[in-house]
A and B are shown apart, each in its own frame.
Chain A
Amino acid sequence: MRDRLAEALRRCRSDYAEIRVERTWASRVVYRGKRLELANESVDGGGCVRVLNRNGGWGVASFTSLEALPAMLEAADQMSRAIHLEEPISLAEVQPREDIVVPQADGDPRRVPLAEKRRYLEALNELILASSDRIADTQCAYGDSWTEWTFANSEGTYLHESRPEVALSASATARDADRIERAHDSLGLRGTWADVQGREEMFRSVARRAVELLSAPTVKGGTYPVVLDPKLAGVFVHEAFGHLSEADFVFENPQAREMMRLGRRFGREIVNFGDDGAAAGLRGTLPYDDEGTPTGRTELVREGVLVGRLHSRETAAKMGERPTGNARAINFRHPPIVRMTNTYIGNGAGSFEDLIADIPLGVYAVDAVGGQTYLENFSFTAALGYMIRDGKVGEMVKDVVLAGNLFQTVARIDRVAGDFRWNQMGGGCGKGGQFPLPVTEGSPHVRIEELLVGGEMPR
Chain B
Amino acid sequence: MIERVLEAAARRAEAADAWLRDGSTSALRFEAGRLKEGTLAQEAGLNLRVIARGRVGVAGTTDLGAPDELVERALASASLGEELALSLPPLRPPSAVPTFDDTAAGLDTAALAALGRRVLEQLARPLWHVSASVDRTVETVRFANSTGQAYTYRSTGVSVAAEVTRVGGDDVLMVYDHVAGAGPPTEAELDAVAQSIIRRMALAERVVTSPEGRLPVLFTPTGSAAVLLPLLQALSGKSVLQGVSPLGGRLGDSVFDPGLSLTDEPLLPGRLGSRPADDEGVPSARTALIDRGVVRGFAYDLETAARAGATSTGHGRRSIFGRPAIGFTNLVVAAGEFDEAELLREMGAGLVVDELIGVGQGNVISGAFSHPVALAFGVEGGEIVGRVKDAAVAGNSYELLKRIRAIGRVQKWIGGRKAVPGMVVEGVNVAAR
Which A residues lie at the B interface, using CB under 8 A?
A: 26, 28, 32-33, 35-46, 57-65, 68, 72, 75-76, 79-80, 82-83, 85, 89, 114-115, 118, 136-137, 173, 175, 178-182, 218, 221-223, 252-253, 255-256, 258-259, 333, 335, 369-381, 398-399, 401, 403-405, 407, 452, 454-457, 459
Contacts of A28 on B, CB cut-off 8 Å? Answer: 322
Distance to closest chain B CB from A89 (angstroms): 8
Q: CB within 8 A of B323: which of A38, A179, A405, A452?
A: A38
**Contact yes or no, B42 A403, CB < 8 A:** no
Supplied contacts A79-B38, A405-B389, 20 more A-B pairs, CB within 8 Å? A35-B82, A39-B81, A40-B74, A41-B76, A44-B320, A45-B62, A57-B35, A62-B40, A76-B40, A82-B109, A173-B244, A221-B394, A253-B167, A372-B357, A373-B357, A377-B390, A455-B370, A456-B429, A457-B431, A459-B214
Q: Does residue B188 face the partner (Cβ distance < 8 Å to A)? A: no
Beta-carbon contacts of B319-348 to A below 8 Å, as 1s and 0s?
Answer: 011110000000000000000000000000
Query: Of B41, B169, B372, which contacts A62 at CB under 8 A?
Result: B41
Do B80 and A44 have beta carbons less than 8 Å apart?
no
How far is it, in angstroms, between the C-alpha of A364 and the C-alpha of B112 when the chains are bound?
51
Question: Given A36-B82, A371-B361, A454-B392 in contact, is the A64-B31 Cβ separation under 8 Å?
Answer: no
Docked CA distance A130–B370 (Å): 32
Most chain B beta carbons < 10 A, residue from A223, A256, A375, A379: A379
> How far is the CB of A372 from the nearest CB of chain B, in Å?
4
Which residues of chain A are within 8 angstroms of B358 by Cβ–Cβ distance?
370-372, 379-381, 401
List 25 interface pairs A-B (beta carbons < 8 Å), by A numbering: A40-B74, A57-B35, A59-B37, A60-B40, A62-B40, A62-B43, A63-B42, A64-B45, A83-B38, A114-B80, A218-B368, A221-B392, A255-B129, A370-B360, A371-B361, A376-B171, A376-B172, A378-B357, A379-B357, A381-B358, A401-B394, A407-B170, A454-B394, A457-B430, A457-B431
Taking a contact as CB atoms under 8 Å apart, the answer to whether A58 and B170 are in contact is no
Residues in B whose Cβ lies below 8 Å from that of A253? 32, 129, 165, 167
Are B374 and A79 within 8 A (Cβ)? no
Task: Decide: A401 near B371, CB < 8 A? Known: A40-B57, A60-B40, A372-B357.
Answer: yes
- Which 9 pairs show the lowest CB-CB distances between chains A and B? A79-B38, A403-B372, A370-B361, A255-B167, A454-B370, A40-B77, A379-B357, A379-B358, A58-B37
A405 to B37, CA, bound (A): 32
Q: How far is the CA of A89 from the CA of B357 in the complex (A)?
A: 33
Q: How far is the CA of A98 from the CA of B133 in the complex (A)?
A: 36
User: B80: nearest residue on chain A (CB-CB)?
Assistant: A39
Cβ proximity bits B166-184 to A, threshold 8 Å, 1 near / 0 not: 1111111010000000000
Checking A44, A59, A369, A452 against B38 with a beta-carbon cut-off of 8 angstroms, the contacting residue is A59
User: Which of B44, B109, B167 contacts A256 (CB under 8 A)?
Assistant: B167
- Pair A118/B244 contact, Cβ less than 8 Å: no
Task: Enumerate chain A residues within 8 angstroms of B57, measured Cβ to Cβ.
Answer: 40
Alpha-carbon distance between A218 and B76 when the two chains are bound, in angstroms: 46
Q: Which residues of B contact A62 (CB under 8 A)?
A: 39-43
With A and B bound together, what is the CA distance between A85 and B63 in angstroms? 38
User: Which of B41, B82, B169, B174 is in CB contact (< 8 Å) with A374?
Assistant: B174
Query: In the complex, are the beta carbons of A333 and B80 less than 8 A apart?
Result: no
- How many angstroms between the C-alpha atoms of A83 and B432 in the bound complex? 46
Check if A401 sits within 8 Å of B392, measured CB to CB: yes
Residues in B with CB closer than 8 Å to A407 are 170
Cα distance A375–B365 when bound, in Å?
28
Q: Quick check: A57 and B37 within 8 Å, CB to CB?
A: yes
Contact of A221 with B431 in the complex, beta carbons under 8 Å: yes
Pair A374/B357 contact, Cβ less than 8 Å: yes
Contacts A46-B62, A375-B172, A377-B372; is A333 near B43 (CB within 8 Å)? Answer: yes
Residues of B within 8 Å of A221, CB to CB, are: 370, 392, 394, 429, 431
Check if B431 sits within 8 Å of A259, measured CB to CB. no
- Contact residues in A for B368 (Cβ distance below 8 Å): 218, 399
* CA A178 to CA B243, docked complex, whole Å: 11
Q: How many A-B residue pairs have CB under 8 A?
A: 246
Mask of B287-320 contacts with A, CB within 8 angstroms, 1/0: 0000000000000000000000000000000001
Does B34 belong to the interface (CB within 8 Å)? yes
In the assembled complex, the CB of B62 is this many whole angstroms from the nearest CB of chain A, namely 4
B73 interface hit (Cβ, 8 Å): yes
B362 at the interface (CB under 8 A from A): yes
CA of A41 to CA of B60 in the docked complex: distance in angstroms?
9
The 0/1 profile, CB within 8 Å of A marked 1, for residues 234-255 of chain B is 0000000011101000000000
Contact with A along B59-92 (1 / 0, CB 8 A): 1111110000100011011001110000000000
A377–B44 touching, CB < 8 Å: no
Please tell me which one of the listed residues A218, A222, A372, A404 contacts residue B361 in the complex, with CB atoms under 8 A apart: A372
Closest to A58 in B: B37
Give Cα A375 to B246, complex, Å. Answer: 35
In angstroms, Cα B80 to Cα A35, docked, is 12
The residue that A457 contacts in the complex, of B63, B172, B214, B371, with Cβ under 8 A, is B214
Which of A137, A179, A398, A401 is in CB contact (< 8 Å) with B242?
Answer: A137
Asked if B363 is at the interface (CB within 8 A of a chain A CB), the reply is yes
B213 x A457 contact (CB < 8 A): yes
Residues of A within 8 A of B170 (CB): 259, 376, 405, 407
A253 to B169 alpha-carbon distance, docked (Å): 13
Known: A405-B390, A457-B213. A381 touches B40 (CB 8 A): no
Contacts of A369 in B (CB 8 A): 361-362
Tell whether, in the assembled complex, residue B77 and residue A41 are in contact, meaning their CB atoms are under 8 Å apart: yes
Are the C-beta atoms of A38 and B58 separated by less than 8 Å?
yes
* B127 on the A face (CB < 8 A): yes
Q: Enumerate chain B residues within 8 angstroms of A374, measured Cβ to Cβ.
A: 174, 355, 357, 374
Closest CB of chain A to B209's CB: distance in Å? 14
Q: In the complex, which residues of chain A have a beta carbon less than 8 angstroms from the beta carbon of B321? A: 26, 42, 44
Give A454 to B62 CA distance when docked, in angstroms. Answer: 45
- Complex-state Cα separation, A41 to B169, whole angstroms: 51
Residues of A close to B36: CB separation below 8 A? 57-58, 83, 85, 89
Verify if B11 is at the interface (C-beta below 8 Å from A): no
Q: How distant is the Cα of A62 from the Cα of B23 in the complex, in angstroms?
A: 12
